[in-house]
Amino acid sequence: MQNSHILSNSLLHLSSPGKWQNLTKYQFKPKIPVSSSTTRFRRLSVSSVAAPPASRPITNTSTLSPEVVELLKSLQGWVGENILPFLKPAEKSWQPHDFLPDSSLPSDEFVEQVLALRERTAELLDDYLVVLVGDLITEEAVSTYMSYLNRLEGIKDQTGASPDPWSVWIRSWTAEENRHGDLLNKYLYLSGRVNMPMIERTIHNLISTGMSEPSNLTSYKGLVYTSFQERATFITHGRTAHLAKQRGDPMLGCICGTIAADEKRHENAYQKMVEKILEVDPTGGIQGIAEMLRQNITMPAFLMHDSENLDLFNNFSLVTQKLGVYTITDYADILEFLIKRWKLEKLVGFNDGKAQEAQDFVCGLPRKIRRLQERAEERAKKMKPQTMRISWIFNRELTV
C-alpha cells in the first residue's frame, strides 16, 4: 500500500463547500524545528486529497448498525472461497533474498555481487531515488496499515490469530506486503546512493506518527480506501520499474515490477470485496463510497517527516509528479476505473433516497477533478522552477 503511494501527493485540499485551496502544511505538526535549509514550497502538486466540493452531507454511516456488522461477518465463507485464493503461501512466494546479493557465498563472491549492484545503481538520477525512497518508506509502515484494517467492525481480527477468513486475509496480506519494504530497503542500503540514517529516521517517525485516516471510519469506507490505494501503488511501482530499466538497472526494474504484480493481486481482492458489498447492500455501499470520496483519499505516508523537514511529503509529491510516476490525472483515472469496475452508474436497488444523491456525486466526480486539473496546469505554467533539498539524498539540490 502506498503510496500508497502510493500513492502520493498533495497540495490541494478542500476547505469549504465550493472552494479549493493550497495545502501547504501538514495536518499534523511534530514539535520539532524546521532546519534552516528547508524551503517552503507553494507550487501546485498532484492531489492526495482530491475530492471536489460537497453539495450537502449524505447519510452518516459512521457507526455501522448491528445488522451491517452481522452482514459482514456472514460473508466469512464467501471471503474464504473468493478472496483467500488471491494469497500465495510462503513456500510459493518470492522473498527479498531472491533479488539480492547472496550473503551465504564466500566473501569475495558476495562482494562481487554487491559491486555489480552498485555499478547498476550508479547512474540512477536523484529525482528517481527520491521517488523510490518515498515508495520504500510507505511500504515500511505496513504495521500501521494492518492496525487500520483491524479497526474495521465485522472484519477485524478479534484475537490476533483468529482462523476466520477475514482475519486470515488481514494477516496474510500484511505478510505479503512486508516483503516490499524489506526488499527495497536492503537494495538501497547496498547501493550506497542514499542516506540510510535519514531514511530510517523517516520510517521510524511515520510508524510512530501513524496515518491520516477519514473521520468516522467504517468497514465500508475502509475497503473503498484500500481498493483505491492498492491500484495507486500498482501504478506507481509499475512506473518506477519502467524508469529503472530505462536508467540502466534491469534488476531494480524486475524488483519494482514484481512488487507491482503483488499490488495488482491485492487490488483485485479489495475491489472484489467492495463489489460484494454493493451486491448485498447497495444503499450502504454507495453511501460508503461517497462518504470516503467526500472526506478525501489521503495518501498513507502523508504524515512522513525526518524530524527536520516538515514539508517532506510535499517535496516527495512534487518529485513524483515531475517524473510522471503519480499525478492528478491518475487520481481521476482510478476513480473512473472503479466506477466502471463496480458498475456504479447502473447500480439499482436503493432503499434510501439519499443513495441516489451519493451515486450522482460519485459518478460525476472524475469530471470535476479533470476540470480542477486543467486549472492547476494553467497555474503551474506560470510558476518558475523551484529548488529543494531532501535529506534522503544527502541534501543534494533538486529542481522541480
Assign 106 to helix, strand or coil: coil
Strand segments, DSSP code E, in 276-359 are none
Question: In the chain, pLDDT over 90 holds for what percent of residues?
Answer: 77
Known catalytic membership, residue 213: no
Known catalytic membership, residue 70: no
Task: Evaluate the CA torsion angle 338, 340, 343, 347 in order and state its sign.
Answer: positive
Model pLDDT for residues 166-176, shown as the tens digit of each residue: 999 999 999 99
Strand segments, DSSP code E, in the chain are 3-6, 12-16, 19-22, 387-389, 397-399
**Which domains, and CATH codes, for the chain?**
3-399 (1.10.620.20)
Model pLDDT for residues 163-200, shown as the tens digit of each residue: 999 999 999 999 999 999 999 999 999 999 999 999 99
Residue located via cell numbers 486470515: 168
Separation of alpha carbons 301 and 78, rounded Å: 32
Lowest mean pLDDT among 48-57, 88-97, 240-249, 257-266: 48-57
Question: In the chain, pLDDT over 70 holds for what percent of residues?
Answer: 84
Separation of alpha carbons 289 and 218, rounded Å: 11
pLDDT at residue 63 in the model: 66
**pLDDT-based confidence at residue 1 (cuts at 50, 70, 90):** low
Separation of alpha carbons 135 and 301, rounded Å: 9
Q: Is 266 annotated as a binding residue?
A: yes
Known catalytic membership, residue 263: yes
Q: Which listed residue (127, 177, 306, 330) is catalytic?
A: 177
Known catalytic membership, residue 139: yes
Model pLDDT for residues 323-358, shown as the tens digit of each residue: 999 998 999 999 999 999 999 999 999 998 899 999
Known catalytic membership, residue 230: yes
Model pLDDT for residues 122-155, shown as the tens digit of each residue: 999 999 999 999 999 999 999 999 999 999 999 9
Q: Which listed residue (233, 236, 240, 298) is catalytic?
A: 233
The set of cell numbers assigned to 256 is: 519494482
Q: Is 180 annotated as a binding residue?
A: yes
Q: Which listed residue (127, 263, 306, 330) is catalytic?
A: 263
Q: Phi and psi for 194 in degrees, rounded to 5? A: -130, 165
Check pLDDT > 60 for residue 37: no
Burial class (CB in 10 A: 0-12, 13-18, 19+), 33: exposed
Known catalytic membership, residue 327: no
CB atoms within 10 A of CB 197: 10
Check pLDDT > 90 for residue 203: yes
Separation of alpha carbons 302 and 296, rounded Å: 12
Assign 6 to helix, strand or coil: strand
Q: Is 230 annotated as a binding residue?
A: yes
Check pLDDT > 70 for residue 300: yes
Q: Is 139 annotated as a binding residue?
A: yes
Known catalytic membership, residue 399: no
| Residue-by-residue DSSP string for 199-245 | HHHHHHHHHHH-----SS--HHHHHHHHHHHHHHHHHHHHHHHHHHH
Assign 21 to helix, strand or coil: strand
* Higher pLDDT, residue 243 or 12: 243
271-275: average pLDDT: 99
Q: Which listed residue (78, 94, 242, 336) is catalytic?
A: 94
Angle between helix axes 282-294 and 353-381 (nearest 10 degrees) is 30
Assign 3 to helix, strand or coil: strand
Q: Which listed residue (180, 249, 298, 306) is catalytic?
A: 180
